[in-house]
Amino acid sequence: MDYSALAAEAKTYLPFMQSNRQKFHQIAEVGLHLPLTQAAVLESIEGLGEIKLGKGLSSVTLLIRGAKPGPTVLIRADMDALPVIEDSGEPFASTNGAMHACGHDLHMSIGIGAAHLVHTHRDKLAGNVLFWFQPGEEGNGGADVMLAEGSHLVEGVKPIAAYGVHVFSMYQSGIFGTKKGALMASAGEIKVTIKGAGGHGSMPWLSNDPISVMAQMIASIQPAINRELKQLDPTIVNVCWVKAGNDVTSNVTPAEASFGATIRTFSDEHFDKVRMVLSRLLNGIADAFGVEVELVIDNGMGHATKVLYNDDDAVDRVARVAPQVLGAGRYITLPEGTPGGEDFASVLKEIPGAFVFIGACPPELDPTTAPNNHSEKVRFDDTVMPDASALLASLAFDTLNEAARA
Ligand SMILES: [Zn+2]
Ligand SMILES: [Zn+2]
């Protein structure tokens, strides 16, 4: 199949894709339940194939069956926005208090573009392409909910490969890249509440001060990590908030102090180990100072993203197909992963595949200083969308055609 012809065809979709993207942007919704977004997605893929809606979330799956039977490839686009008040200056900026600051509006539009390409050429398809439109990526575990609902299964069978993309404003527009192995970190968290006893600030021996215990805990985290977890396998534990006392007075010892830290790991081994080390350390310090401590790890519900591992063969396929779609010089092997988390990792635990980063910095900005994903000022160059759709469609065709030849 001629992937460059597919890319040329995708370019004619640009106005359709931009108008879809702007519509999604204006109705930005947060979390697992995105009724307006779901309705807009459904409208744009009408007649393309078999549709199923999620039960515990507003997901949409679209199954396009090829002319010949065969296995299935999954293509995933996330749908949710962030609770950010937009200040991007875009003419289509959202005014409802939520913002597509992570570019998931582009991802939906890219997925829809890819679905139209696959549908147009389904006569050349030996197998099926299953499109996932997934809510709740930003910390709500939407991918896990969809997996639990069996949204990845076609007649009870798992797809043979899964692909997804993510736009970033910190990379030059039009550059696509990925790498083998761990591409994105597991993102989890710990919340620590220290329960002592309050009292008069002048007589600490009559109370049980939780603040000095909290200070010891925070100071001990880094040395504990450094001496117990291999430094060549990065592990980040960063305390991002502390809460204690009342700033209107300096003579009251509070009964309680608390803090929270984000936890990022790049291997399954460290995922478990850092949690064990933190729990032993913080319980130990609490015990030494005679206070109670309550640890809530990953929301208490296992709500950490998994480490996102790209499959070696899938990355080889991206490296071979991307230059055919994009032309020379636009696909790179990324030198390192990123400590950001992404719940597509759960899909790639079940199904081998690849996640590809796309530079989408507006050409008039400098990628090194442009407002970053999640910023209220972030803007994306959405002219990258047709190439992204063509790449995803090409990966699906390539995977299925190879399986048919085998
Ligand atoms: Zn995000
Ligand atoms: Zn994102």
Domain containing 26 — which CATH number?
3.40.630.10
Report the mean per-residue pLDDT for the chain. 97
Distance of alpha carbon 264 from alpha carbon 304, whole angstroms: 9
Torsional sign, CA 190, 55, 78, 40:
negative
Amino acid 42: pLDDT? 98
pLDDT at residue 17 in the model: 98
pLDDT of 181 > 90? The answer is yes
Residue 63 β-bridge partners: 50, 130
Please give the backbone phi and psi of residue 274, each rounded to the nearest 5 degrees, phi first: -65, -35
Q: Where do we find the tokens 């999954």?
A: 74
Three-state SS for 39? Answer: helix
Q: What is the pLDDT of residue 80?
A: 98
Read off the CATH number of the domain in which 284 is found. 3.30.70.360
Same domain flag for 112 and 246: no
* Claim to verify: residue 137 and residue 237 sit in the same structural domain: no
* pLDDT above 80 (res 341): yes
* Rounded distance between C-alpha atoms, residue 359 and residue 393, angstroms: 19
**CA distances (Å), origin 328, targets 176, 180, 223, 331, 362:** 11, 20, 46, 7, 21
Last-in-domain residue among 300, 321, 341? 300
Percent of the chain residues past pLDDT 90, beyond the cut: 98
140 and 102 belong to one structural domain: yes
Residue 304: which H helix or E strand, with range?
none
Q: Tell the burial category of 235 from Cβ atoms under 10 Å away from its Cβ (0-12, 13-18, 19+).
A: buried
The CA angle 208-211-216, to the nearest 5 degrees, is 105
Distance 342 CA to ligand 1 centre (A): 8
Do 169 and 217 lie in one domain? The reply is no
If you average pLDDT over residues 175-183, what whole number do you get?
Answer: 98
Domain that holds residue 200: 186-300
Confidence (pLDDT) at 41: 98
* DSSP bridge partners of 161: 73
For residue 286, the CA-to-ligand 1 centroid distance in Å is 35
The closest alpha carbon to 236, from 137, 344, 341, belongs to 341
Residue 406 CB neighbours (<10 A): 5
What average pLDDT score do residues 51-61 get? 98
Q: Among the options 9, 29, 86, 138, which is catalytic?
A: 138
Ligand 1 centroid from CA 241, angstroms: 20
Distance from Cα 254 to the centre of ligand 1, integer Å: 36
Residues 255 and 372 in one domain: no
Decide if 138 is catalytic.
Answer: yes
Residue 33 shares a structural domain with residue 145: yes
The pLDDT value given to residue 403: 96
In degrees and rounded to multiples of 5, residue 59 shows phi and psi of -80, 160
| Structure tokens, 307 | 């480490």
Structure token pair of residue 75: 């293509």
Distance from the CA of 205 to the center of ligand 2, in angstroms?
49
The ligand that comes nearest to the alpha carbon of residue 344 is 2
For residue 301, pLDDT beyond 90: no
pLDDT tens-place string over residues 120-134: 999 999 999 999 999
Q: How far is CA 365 from CA 145, 330, 358, 360, in A?
A: 37, 19, 16, 10
Euclidean distance between CA atoms 230 and 222, whole angstroms:
13
Average pLDDT, integer, range 95-101: 98
Query: Whole-angstrom Cα distance, residue 160 to residue 325?
Result: 22
Q: Which helix (H) or strand (E) holds 180?
A: none
Helix/strand number for the chain, H first, E second: 10, 16
Q: How far is the CA of 214 from the centre of ligand 2 (A)?
A: 33
Closest ligand to residue 107's CA: 2
Distance of alpha carbon 266 from alpha carbon 310, whole angstroms: 12
Average pLDDT over residues 38-55: 98
Residues 294, 401: Cα–Cα separation, whole Å: 54
Of 300, 330, 353, the residue at which a domain comes to its end is 300
Tokens 């995922």 -> residue: 271
Kindly state whether residues 202 and 168 are assigned to the same domain. Answer: no
Buried b (16+ CB within 10 A) or exposed e, 280-317: ebbeebbeebebebeeebbeeeebbbbbbbbbeebbeb
DSSP secondary structure letter of residue 90: -
Average pLDDT over residues 377-382: 98
Ligand 2 centroid distance, CA of 158 (Å): 24
Give 251's contacts (C-beta < 8 A, 6+ positions apart).
Answer: 200, 201, 202
Q: Please tell me the total count of domains within the chain.
A: 2
The predicted model gives 46-71 an average pLDDT of: 97
CA–CA separation, 186 and 184 (whole Å)? 7
Same domain, 221 and 361: no
Identify which of 211, 54, 73, 203 has the alpha carbon closest to the alpha carbon of residue 129: 73
Q: Which of 9, 78, 189, 387 is catalytic?
A: 78
Counting ligands in written order, the one closest to the CA of 187 is 1
**Model confidence at 308, in pLDDT bands (50, 70, 90)?**
very high
Q: How confident is residue 136, by pLDDT bands cut at 50, 70 and 90?
A: very high
Q: What spacing in Å lies between the alpha carbon of 163 and ligand 2's midpoint?
A: 15
Neighbours of ion ligand 1 (CB under 5 A): 102
Pick the last residue of a domain from 284, 300, 316.
300
Asked if residue 60 lies in contact with residue 38, where contact means CB atoms within 8 angstroms, the answer is: yes
Distance CA 379, CA 382 (A): 9
Which ranges constitute the DSSP H helices of 81-164?
104-120, 142-148
268 in active site: no
State in Å: Cα 61 to ligand 2 middle: 19
Give the separation between CA 244 and CA 58, rounded to whole angstroms: 39
User: Do 123 and 53 share a structural domain?
Assistant: yes
CA 199 to ligand 2 centroid distance, Å: 46
Q: What angle do CA 383, 173, 87 make, to 5 degrees?
A: 75
pLDDT for 350 = 97
104 and 74 inside one domain: yes
User: Does 342 share its domain with 376?
Assistant: yes
Give the β-pairing of 292-297 and 235-244.
unpaired
Whether 160 and 49 map to the same domain: the answer is yes
Question: How much is the average pLDDT of 151-160?
Answer: 98
Distance (angstroms) between ligand 2 centre and the Cα of 5 equals 29
